[in-house]
Structure 1
Amino acid sequence: MAEPVPAPNPTDLLTRLPKVDLHCHLLGTVRAATFGELARRERLDLPESPEAIYAGINSRPPDPELYRSTRIPMPQGRSPDEPETSYSLFQASEWVRAVVRTPEDLSRIAYEACADAFLGSGTRHLEFSFDMIPGHLAPIGYAGVVEAMADGIRRAEGEFAMTARMLAAIDRSGSAQEALEWIRTVVEHPHEYVVGIGLDNLENSGPPERFAEAYALAGAAGLGRTAHTSEHVPAATNAVTCLDVLGCDRLDHGYFILEDDEVVARMRAEQVPFTVASTTSRRSWRPWRRASIAAMIEAGINVFPASDDPAMFPTTLLNEYLIQHEQIGTSLEHLGRMALAGIDACWLPEPAKSELRARSEAEIADLLAGRPA
């Protein structure tokens, strides 16, 4: 009689699971050690070491009165793990942004983002976003900035069994005209490694329809479209707008779609892809985030994990998968389906996407069956 196949060890299986990360901000990947080295070079006066700053990131939530009656109760007080000295994610990001100065810096942080994703999480494809070019990088120009980051990606692709692409992100705290000019720059300087656009920063800044013209321009150029939505505003409306007005192919976050049963039904029927992150810089919101993701899964929504700002939270894509299994209760089989759903939603060109899908499907089947690598 054949020996029974032992059940796979969850941590080992999830470590080896082929994953994609479609929601990751480049500035949020910068290693503390790299930040420190660049800060010393630029003589940036920091209140503490980069390691201490990262450990103290804890963004304060918006006005709690906005969230008094959400379907999934929102914590109103501080969480027990909040540090005595806190730094907002935006403040930390601005400090990092200020010390990234040269093409070599850009290439380095793009390479390190890829290396950390592959070596730390087994990420096979990464899509990271970058914002409008700050003034101190203007002499390099958009084309120079993108090519520098692409150089880092190419080096990583040459060393690791992975691919990566870039998304140009609109800062929603800016104006519609600024967004349009930014996306016009992106469209007028096409690059094979820039495959889409996104919309980030606090959703409370204003409704997404302000950026319809910029999104239409990106769509006409063949770029993929995503947006942070239903993350800070406790309503499902913005997610619908992102689909119907902005023409998004996938959505980031989306937890507040749970406020509207009709929207939930639509998202389930259309299997709209949502990138979700269990870890956030708003530490008091983490239990609510995880409960919301569990409810989205229970409702049949197409969600899959992402790392968001992995160095700064800190987290990793692997850690997000472990949280899904250990704290949210998602089965290993479902996590395998999530990994494949992420591939289906990525913006790799064909046939690379189909090849990644077929290879990953075979690997996942072997992992779940307990077959050796």
Structure 2
Amino acid sequence: MGDETTTGSALPGAYLDRLPKADLHCHLIGTVRAATFAELARREGLALPDEPERIFADINSLPPDPALYRDTRIPVPQGRSADEPAVSYSLFQASNWVVDVLRDADDLTRIVYEAFEDAHRSSSTRHLELFFDGVPPHLESLGYVGSVEAYAEGIRMAERDFGMTGRMIQGIDRSRSGEHALGLVRQVVDHPHEYVAGIGLDNLETSGPPERFADAYRLAGEAGLGRTAHSSEHAPTAVNTVTCLDLLGCDRIDHGYYVLEDDEVVARMRDEQVAFTVVSTTSRRSWRPWRRASIEAMLDAGLRVIPASDDPGMFPTTLAAEYRIVHERIGATAEQVRSMALAGVDASWLPPAEKAELRGRFESEIAALDAEFGLTRS
């Protein structure tokens, strides 16, 4: 797309690692280090079927009913992949175990801080937006306000130590009722916090249609909160993404691969430059080739895709690894890669002045990297 380097179109791996990045789609529990989980599990005497490090290494969520995916435009693998472990642990099961060992405010602050530290050190992440779910079951005494403040303290520490910025996203479990979601959003609205910037619909898309949550999203919109949703990820249809935009008022979409099922929707997404946070690595190992083929098709269609890490501690992956995959395996051009990094800032939920300042930093850092690596842009 009008970009060449002095040595061809490939960007060096070190350049991709050091490229400034914003991660807009990352689940806090999915960032927890295996070593941290092991330490907390020992502290609480949690009985596990294997060592925490082994469990994390063997996370492999099995896909939903394959019959749902037999006629998709980009074929979805129907069998198992060669890298699946003999004993698999689902992402949800591992996440539940992690939640079970969180017992005080310091635990919450710690996992947030470590999420930022890992993102900073592994991927040159400058801005991170973390999904958090309801109050952990053993921390009900903290309540919503106490939990959010514990999370926020981790962000403040990361801002101080790493020069990063961060925000939190109240996750909405789509397997629950619309009334439950409305209650969560009321908490966010009634107790505004500078670090809670928006809401996001998560969990398996097939367990709850987006229209179920219209009232919750309407309230969030009235309060000026950012709105996103996991969409067109598990349900092989573009309709849910249209609903998320038109009924829920989402200003970005998490995943979105199945918009490719409808040419008219693809054209609309391209024309409106809807931001899609995409992740080429998933706990459904057999689906990874399909994910990557879908992202390639989205790029070819001119859609605005922004790499994200999702659950980096458990897949495992890093945001830098996702950028490497997008460039080296999927084939995004150097200019597309740079545009993705800047799009991450533009689609973030920072206040306008902070967003403008961060974008300026990104532009300066990218220009400095280009000069250091001897890259030319036409």
TM-score (norm 1): 0.97
Q: Matches of 1:292 and 1:136 in 2, distance apart?
A: 40
Instruction: Report if aligned partners of 1:274, 1:304 keep a CA contact under 8 Å in 2.
Output: yes
Matched, 1:308 2:332: no
Q: Matches of 2:325 and 2:256 in 1, distance apart?
A: 18
Q: Matches of 2:371 and 2:114 in 1, distance apart?
A: 33
RMSD: 1.5
SS at match of 1:226: strand
Aligned to 1:206: 208
Structure 1: tracts of 5 or more residues without a match: none
Matched, 1:284 2:303: no
Residue deviations 1:310-350, cap 9 Å, x none?
00000000000000111101122210000001110001113
Q: Which amino acid counterpart does residue 118 of structure 2 have in structure 1?
A: D
Q: Matches of 1:317 and 1:134 in 2, distance apart?
A: 26
Q: Matches of 1:316 and 1:134 in 2, distance apart?
A: 25
Q: Which amino acid counterpart does residue 323 of structure 1 have in structure 2?
A: I
Matched, 1:68 2:70: yes
Q: Matches of 1:227 and 1:175 in 2, distance apart?
A: 16
Aligned to 1:256: 258
Aligned to 2:116: 114
Q: Which amino acid counterpart does residue 342 of structure 1 have in structure 2?
A: G
**Worse overlay, 70-79 or 353-362:** 353-362
Aligned to 2:333: 331
- For 1:349, which of 351, 355, 371 is the aligned residue? 351
- For 2:173, which of 171, 174, 177 is the aligned residue? 171
Instruction: Report if aligned partners of 2:178, 2:212 keep a CA contact under 8 Å in 1.
Output: yes
Counterpart mapping for 1:239-250 below 5 A: 239-250=241-252
Structure 2: tracts of 5 or more residues without a match: none
Instruction: Report if aligned partners of 2:24, 2:344 keep a CA contact under 8 Å in 1.
Output: yes
SS at match of 2:171: strand
Aligned to 1:98: 100
Residue deviations 1:144-173, cap 9 Å, x none?
000001001101110102111100010000
Instruction: Report if aligned partners of 1:58, 1:282 keep a CA contact under 8 Å in 2.
Output: yes
Residue deviations 1:6-33, cap 9 Å, x none?
6785101111100000000000000001
Q: Matches of 2:11 and 2:275 in 1, distance apart?
A: 28
- For 1:158, which of 157, 160, 168 is the aligned residue? 160
Matched, 1:55 2:57: yes
Q: Matches of 2:7 and 2:272 in 1, distance apart?
A: 37
Instruction: Report if aligned partners of 1:58, 1:82 keep a CA contact under 8 Å in 2.
Output: yes
- 1:362 to partner: Cα distance: 2.2
- 1:371 to partner: Cα distance: 5.5
Q: Which amino acid counterpart does residue 129 of structure 1 have in structure 2?
A: F
Q: Matches of 1:152 and 1:161 in 2, distance apart?
A: 13
Instruction: Report if aligned partners of 1:5, 1:370 keep a CA contact under 8 Å in 2.
Output: no
- For 1:35, which of 15, 34, 37 is the aligned residue? 37
- 1:363 to partner: Cα distance: 1.8
Counterpart mapping for 1:78-97 below 5 A: 78-97=80-99
Q: Matches of 2:239 and 2:372 in 1, distance apart?
A: 44
Aligned to 2:25: 23
Instruction: Report if aligned partners of 2:100, 2:137 keep a CA contact under 8 Å in 1.
Output: no
Aligned to 2:367: 365
**Worse overlay, 205-214 or 288-297:** 205-214
- 1:370 to partner: Cα distance: 4.1
Instruction: Report if aligned partners of 2:102, 2:136 keep a CA contact under 8 Å in 1.
Output: no
**Worse overlay, 237-246 or 331-340:** 331-340
SS at match of 1:228: strand
Instruction: Report if aligned partners of 2:15, 2:373 keep a CA contact under 8 Å in 1.
Output: no
Q: Percent identity?
A: 67
- 1:138 to partner: Cα distance: 1.0
Residue deviations 1:218-265, cap 9 Å, x none?
111111000000000000000000000000010000000000000000
Q: Which amino acid counterpart does residue 199 of structure 1 have in structure 2?
A: L
Instruction: Report if aligned partners of 2:237, 2:261 keep a CA contact under 8 Å in 1.
Output: yes
Residue deviations 1:165-220, cap 9 Å, x none?
10001000001111111111111111000001000000001210100000011111
Aligned to 2:229: 227
Instruction: Report if aligned partners of 1:10, 1:332 keep a CA contact under 8 Å in 2.
Output: no
Aligned to 1:128: 130
- For 1:187, which of 189, 198, 222 is the aligned residue? 189
Instruction: Report if aligned partners of 1:251, 1:272 keep a CA contact under 8 Å in 2.
Output: yes
- For 1:295, which of 297, 317, 321 is the aligned residue? 297
Q: Matches of 2:326 and 2:250 in 1, distance apart?
A: 25
